[in-house]
Amino acid sequence: MKTIANCLHFHRGRIMGFTICYSFKGQRRVLEHPADYLSPNVAVCYALLDSGAVLQEAMPHWESSYLAIVEFAEGLGITEVRWHQSISRPHC
């Protein structure tokens, strides 16, 4: 049984992470990623993986340039990738 006490106890050991927001073919999507650090390149890559678009067309080779990754993502319909640090919380 979930109680307020259980929820408060969980928050003492908060899990830091990131909320990644992006648009895929005009539809807004949000995903949570637990991590201490998230680079711009990795944020776009997680959007690519989450959308499933990258499964339809593989990158010819791994692009290390942020602009190259963004250009590839935009070509598959992924735009407006934004992220911010967040705290994961239980469903109380």
* pLDDT reported for residue 77: 94
Q: Indicate whether this model's pTM tops 0.75.
A: no
Task: Please report which confidence band the pLDDT of residue 9 belongs to, taking 50, 70 and 90 as the band edges.
Answer: very low
7 pLDDT more than 80: no
Q: Which residues contact 54 (CB under 8 A, 6 or more apart)?
A: 48, 76
Q: What is the pLDDT of residues 12-37, one digit of tens each?
A: 555 678 999 999 999 999 999 888 89
| Average pLDDT over the chain, rounded to an integer | 78
Give me the half-sphere count of Cα atoms (radius 13 Å) on the Cβ side of residue 9: 5
Higher pLDDT pick, 1 / 45: 45
Q: What is the mean pLDDT of residues 53-72?
A: 75
Ranges of each domain in the chain: 4-88
